[in-house]
Amino acid sequence: MNVIIRHTMLVAALFAGLQRTDAQDSTATGNEIVHYSGHTLSNVDYHHGQLVPAVGVHNMQVLRANREHPDSAEGSGFTYNHAPMLAYWNNKFYLEYLSDRVGESVPPGQTLLLTSPDGYSWSKPVVLFPPYKIPDGTTKEGHPGVAKDLYAVMHQRMGFYTSKHHRLLALGFYGICLDPHDDPNDGKGIGRVIREVHADGSFGPIYFIHYNPAWNTGNTDYPYYTSSKDKGFVADCNELMATPLMMMQWVEETDRKDSLIPLRKDYKAFSFYHLPDAHVIGLWKNGLTGFSKDEGRTWSRVIRAPHIVTSNAKIWGQRTSDGQYATIYNPSEFRWPLAISTSKDGLDYTNLLLVQGEISTARYGGNYKNYGPQYTRGIDEGNGTPPDGNIWITYSMNKEDIWVSTIPVPVTEKVTEDVNDDFKTTDLKHWNTYSAVWAPVKWIDHALQLSDADPYDFAMAERIFPVAKKMQVEFDLTAAQADHGELQIEFQDERNTPAVRLSLEPDGTFIAKAGARTKRMLTYRAGQTYAIRVTLNTDTRMYTVNVDGKDVVTQLFFAPVESFGHIVFRTGETRHFPTADSPAEADTDQPKAGDRVPEASYTIHYLRTTKQ
């Protein structure tokens, strides 16, 4: 029986048990548990789910996997990159993620670390926990395989711990996979490792902090933490293991009978936050939730959070800097879109807004490489607070690339004033961006610049404005080239449905989509700035494009909308793959996946909107 079938049966049995016992538990139907009372649901037929975007979200790729040119990535060319985690310490962001050469549960595996002073500019990844050789002859109870020339894979639900003495400790777990469908988190791996991260960027020695059964100082390659001569480090490790909420994150990899774990159940990917009354809210995969009154030592009955739609990817929850709460997850049975739901009291979640509605092309096939932005994690309580007060999260895209997003607080979907962005005094704070390593979005030289040298991705900048049935939009636009590249400009409704699309084409023409056809408006020149004004009327379903004072097209929308809500600038065509009927994972490589293409660049000098 393969892992997917076993997992499905396990989840079905778990939920069946919850349904049998919920009726006996007064917390299962009351308002004192985490639940969703809103009415918005995502539509999986769209990568954005037809969700209204949260205003000002910046999505940034921080690692682009590259097998062909590994020096442009992390140096080893591994193309399975997943399960990232964040901390903010010593005025710097720290991001840890695990990596396998090709696919999930296929060794060798390692864990890497990136840092950033501002969340936007990131260092090249460095190895935090290197590949680990499993002794030949190693077996696992219940599995027929025998290790021979085998390396461990890494699997950890906890990445960082900041001690009371302000040390930053990084953690990882060495698991054993005797075949590609074996589980690294079945409680039968080797053990958990730990090392200190110093302020100067150096690392302390690697130690085992906890062994699984059958492993000890005699048959492992790193010493036990108590052998360290740094007594402060030893004390901080002891402090960590005396903290139940931290130990709750160890449950999957640790032996199921381990006394360190407060709640020894098969609940996965624990996330938590505190309410004002000091109760702790716990969240797990499959939308499970419970609460603790004693800092995680004991727990209420864990149930499926009413009306919260999510599957077996992670859910993240936190208290926000304005005293409210947010959960961030994939609100579907797939791993797209990535959405945020907010709550005033940490229990009643009332809305659902878009964070990340793009799925980049999966460039490398591999074992269990699911599509979409997934496995979201923020900054655990105690692991630092960025000074901007925003929500910061990290996630993997297609289990291949690593991304970071910042979400402004307070979280909102509304813009009430017409836009007047001249970029001389205005940065990108109110813009939503999708910025890839080879296709960045930047505020540079008092202008908005989109560049693109990625054959499989694009740059995108989106400005939300007051919803209007009739409006005028003006902007200046310069293309650095006229013989390659593409810029699409779309006018969309609140839920991301485009009705008007204008395109700077690679052959130097400026065209408009006219139903299933296109209409040429003019020939544009490299380096020349064009003043563009677009007048939109949803009552007549007509729009007019004026360039440098001359009307160049008047025609019908290519799709009807009731109103307009935002404008999108994108250096490529909109994507529709994968769909709900696509294969579950990427299993083929794309040609020249690691090669750049000639860069194209576009500059927007100002943007003004006028509601009529």
Concatenate the DSSP letters of all residues of 130-180 into one string: ---BPPTT---TT-----SS-B-EE--S--EEE-TT--EEEEEEEE--SST
Q: Which DSSP category does 370 fall into?
A: B
Give the C-alpha separation, 478 to 471, whole Å: 23
pLDDT at 20: 34
Q: Which burial class, exposed, middle or buried, applies to 30 when counting CB atoms under 10 A from its CB (0-12, 13-18, 19+)?
A: exposed
Identify the bridge partners of residue 341 per DSSP, sorted by sequence position: 327
- Closest among 428, 491, 489, 487 to 458, alpha carbons compared: 487
Q: What tokens appear for 469 in the block?
A: 């049935």
Q: Which residues of 534-571 are buried (b: 16+ CB within 10 A; e: fewer)?
A: bbbbbeeeebebbbeeeebbebebbeebeebbbbbbbb
User: 236 near 211, Cβ under 8 Å?
Assistant: no
SS3 227: helix
Q: How would you classify the pairing of strands 487-492 and 470-479?
A: unpaired
pLDDT at 15: 42
Q: How would you classify the pairing of strands 348-349 and 35-36?
A: parallel
Domains and CATH numbers, the chain: 3-407 (2.120.10.10), 420-611 (2.60.120.560)
Helices (H), 271-408: none
pLDDT at 311: 86
The vertex-13 CA angle with 7 and 15, nearest 5°, equals: 100
pLDDT at 24: 31
pLDDT at 329: 98
Q: Which DSSP category does 606 fall into?
A: E
The stretches in the chain having pLDDT less than 70 are 1-31
pLDDT at 427: 86
The vertex-168 CA angle with 162 and 169, nearest 5°, equals: 95
